[in-house]
Every structure is written in structure tokens, then in C-alpha cells.
Amino acid sequence: MPDFELPSTSGKIYSSDDFEKKKLLAIVFLSNHCRVSQIFQNHLMQVKKLFAQESVSIIAVSPNYEDAILPDELAYSDLGDSLEEMKKRAYRQKYNFPYLYDGKDQNLTKKIGVKITPTVFLYDNKRNLVYEGKIGNHETPNRMETSDLYQNIVENLSGPTGKVKRTKVFGTSIKFQDDLPIAERVRARNARETVKLTQTDERKLSFYLTHKTYKPKLFYVWQTEDKECRDNLVKLSSVYKIFRKRGLRVFTVCISDMDNLEKALDHLKQSQMSSFNFMVSGHEIGPLIKVAPKELQQITPFYRLIGSDGKMLIGGRGELSSDRLRVEIIKALQPQ
């Protein structure tokens, strides 16, 4: 097993020396945005509990160079793979094992040669590899009888078997710094997308609000004078690019007269907001008032997420929270 020294979500720096007295050490390469990694989160915590009295350690390592992840590759996760986002995942899920970050230099990831998350590497007391492969069956992720990790820990607790077992892994390809040019080309292409701003009226607004698309819709209502204008549009643009391939539709509605069109359009272009963008005069906002969150103290800015069934979901005003939006969009995109 290669030596390592990596930061964790707890703030502690972990090294291979911290686990030298353990009979077995399982290093699980895990990533926030990987759907299969998410499936096995609870299972890993359960395995950790089952061997709490044994000389066994389980650690998770996040290996992705996060800037190389494409926007739509994040569409099944509320969080990306930065260290700060790892901290949020560990806190929200109450991880009972160390969660280490190797995304900057990827030294441990490269030394071990892992390519897919999740992948397990189980080492004996002399730190010789005894198992490499999947955590378990992704169709029955919480059953110990189908858990390769659990079974191999049990087999090796009494001593080395002298054999290395390997299984085929299933999950998400790890992103390396060499993959960055691909992501940069995608971002450059996104930046060149056409941004339009169309004048609309009360009747058309009502149609877009009530028309069933069988996918969630996110409405953002704003004015160029809003102090949160630029920041909110940038956040909204990022969320849109992440989830649009899964069917999320985003509508921005600027309340203003046509004299302000160029200023509003410039805000949208600077934010790369290539969604459906409308401008409506102040006396045509009746349909928007009906869906505005009740806690509104002023008309803009506010947002409203509408489910695929037309049900009004979350809404809010003022500064947008990308975290909250992504959590709720993930929920809204789940099969009904």
C-alpha cells in the first residue's frame, strides 16, 4: 500500500501511519457526484459499525479533479467533489469514517491506479493487498450477504489468506487533471450559447406557468435594480447547465418596460443565462403574483420551483442558495 497524507472533512490531516496498528485497512474511493457511490454510503457506515470492536479501519477517499467534471455529470448529485462540498456531504450523511480529499494532486489515486468510483482496496496487517473491486451488489446495496467488502473483511480477519481477490467494478470514471481541456471546451461552448430576451404578456406567462411539461420548472422573477441581480443569475445559470439534460426547464422573467431591454439582456449574457428569458411590464404580472412565495415582502427577486405534476414546491426571495436549489431539484426529478 502506498504511503499517503491527505486532508479530511473533519479538518484533520490523515496519514497511512495513523492506521498502522490495524489488522485490516479498507480504502474506498468514493465521490460525491457518483450515483453508485451514493448508493453505498449507508452500507459503508453499517460495515463500519459492525467492525467497530475489531481492528479494522475503513476510510473513504475522494479522487476527482473537480474542475474536470462536466456540468451535466453533476446532475444526479446535490454536491460536487470539492473539499468544501465533501464536508457538507459528510455532515449531512453523518459519515462515521474519515473522508479524505485527493482531488488536488491525486497522488494516492495515481499510485494505486484506481479509475472508477466506488472501488475498494483492502489491505492486511502488513499492508499487502488482499481484495480489490466493488463494494457489493448495487441492486442490493444494504445486504451483507451480497457485500464483497463485508465478506472479504470477515475472510481476512483471522489472518492473510495468501490470495488477492478481484471483482469487476461498476460506477463513474474518475476525472484527472488531463481531462481538464475537455471540460474547458464544454464551458467555452456553453459560453457561446445564444441568449435571448423576449417580451411577453399576462396570457403567455399564465401558459408557461400552468402548461404541463412532466418535468420540473424553475421560475425566477427579477428586476435589473435588484442588488442580488448578477449573483443570482450566475447561480441560476450554473444550476440550469447541470440539470437541463435531465429535463429541468428554467424561466427568467424580468419585470420592466422595453426601454430597459438592452440592460436586462446584458445581465443575462454576462451570466450565460441561455434558458427561456422573458420581459414583462409591471401591469402584466398577475400570474406571477399567484405563484409568489407568501413570505414575500417585495416583488423581486423571487423564485418558485414547480413539480412535474404542476404542484408548487419550494420558493423564496432575495439571494439564491445553490445548495438548497440543487437539493430540491434532485428531489423534484425523482420518478413519481
Q: Considering 128, 149, 182, which residue would you say is the last residue of a domain?
A: 182
pLDDT for residue 272 = 96
Q: Considering 182, 207, 224, which residue would you say is the last residue of a domain?
A: 182
**Residues 129 and 175 both lie in one domain:** yes
Q: Answer whether 159's CB lies under 8 Å from 150's CB.
A: no
Asked whether residue 284 is assigned to any structural domain, the reply reads yes
pLDDT for residue 315 = 87
**Residues 80 and 177 both lie in one domain:** yes
pLDDT one digit per residue (tens) for the chain, 336 residues? 999 999 999 999 999 999 999 999 999 999 999 999 999 999 999 999 999 888 999 999 999 999 999 999 999 999 999 999 999 999 999 999 999 999 999 999 999 999 999 999 999 999 999 999 999 999 898 899 999 999 999 999 887 777 899 999 999 999 999 999 999 999 999 999 999 999 998 889 889 888 888 899 999 999 999 999 999 999 999 999 999 999 999 999 999 888 889 999 999 999 999 999 999 987 767 777 776 766 555 678 999 999 988 888 888 888 999 999 999 999 999 876
**Residues 145 and 107 both lie in one domain:** yes
**Residues 172 and 212 both lie in one domain:** no
Omega before 118 within 30 of 0, i.e. cis: yes
**Residues 243 and 104 both lie in one domain:** no
Three-state SS string across 277-335, please?
EEEECHHHCHHHHHHCCCCCCCCCCEEEEECCCCCEEEEEECCCCHHHHHHHHHHHHCC
CA distance 14 to 8: 7
Hey, is 58 helix, strand or coil?
strand
DSSP 12: P
- Residue 132's nearest CA partner among 49, 15, 26 is 26
Asked whether residue 189 is assigned to any structural domain, the reply reads no
Gyration radius from the chain CA atoms: 24
Q: Considering 135, 153, 182, which residue would you say is the last residue of a domain?
A: 182
Q: Answer whether 323's CB lies under 8 Å from 78's CB.
A: yes
Give kind and range of the element (H or E) at residue 89: helix 83-93
Boundaries of domain holding 92: 5-182
Domain count, the chain: 2
**Residues 119 and 256 both lie in one domain:** no
- CATH label of the domain that carries residue 206: 3.40.30.10
The pTM (predicted TM-score) of the whole model is 0.90
**Residues 178 and 204 both lie in one domain:** no
Q: Answer whether 46's CB lies under 8 Å from 57's CB.
A: no
End-to-end CA gap in the chain? 45
Asked whether residue 101 is assigned to any structural domain, the reply reads yes
**Residues 124 and 206 both lie in one domain:** no
Asked whether residue 321 is assigned to any structural domain, the reply reads yes
**Residues 61 and 133 both lie in one domain:** yes
**Residues 62 and 169 both lie in one domain:** yes
DSSP bridge partners of 323: none
**Cell numbers of 81, please?**
467533489
Asked whether residue 259 is assigned to any structural domain, the reply reads yes
pLDDT for residue 210 = 86
**Residues 129 and 29 both lie in one domain:** yes
Asked whether residue 229 is assigned to any structural domain, the reply reads yes
- Residue 303's nearest CA partner among 232, 238, 220, 237 is 220
**Residues 32 and 74 both lie in one domain:** yes
Q: Answer whether 42's CB lies under 8 Å from 136's CB.
A: no
